[in-house]
Amino acid sequence: MKDSNCIFCMIANGEIPSRTILENERFRVILDNGPATRGHALVLPKEHFANLFDMPEDWLKDAAVTAQQAAGRIRDKLSIDGLNIVQNNGEAAGQTVHHFHIHVIPRYKDDGQKILWSPRHPSDSELDAVCGELNA
């Protein structure tokens, strides 16, 4: 199902122009218009799913393959030094558009971006506690 109020539904289905770098039956891959780096792309499903939790398993598999294809294109055509795949769910995690998308972010030596996190140093008992909760 599409959501007529969703900008990514409109972009994915070609109702709003975008800088498309790859397209298949289920996905359109576009350039992010506020890119972290040169070539930053977004994998958008043509159906509306708000986030990872709403994605059917077969769509998720196709999304991963499409992201890999986009990443390969970016690696082959641009002189990149690395690449991050990022996928945000919920405002606390930085999601601003509530239509599932995968960020494909090429990285360049000294590009000045900070996509990685600061590691915390929990005690063994804290790690054991969370492990216990997740296995309960």
Residues that bind ligand AMP (CB under 6 A): 7, 30, 32-34, 42, 88, 94-97
**99 annotated active-site:** no
Distance in angstroms between the alpha carbons of the first and the last residue of the chain: 35
Q: Which of 44, 22, 39 is nearest to 113 (CA)?
A: 39
**CB-nearer residue toward ligand AMP: 34 or 119:** 34
Q: Rounded to the nearest whole angstrom, what is the least distance from the CB of residue 68 to ligand AMP in the complex?
A: 19
Do 119 and 86 form a contact (C-beta atoms < 8 A)? no
Which residue is closest to Zn ion by CB?
Answer: 6
- DSSP reduced 3-state for 112: coil
Question: Phi/psi at 30 (nearest 5 deg)?
Answer: -120, 160
Q: Rounded to the nearest whole angstrom, what is the least distance from the CB of residue 125 to ligand AMP in the complex?
A: 34
6 is in the binding site of which of Zn ion, ligand AMP, none (Cβ under 5 to 8 A by kind)? Zn ion
Positions marked catalytic: 101
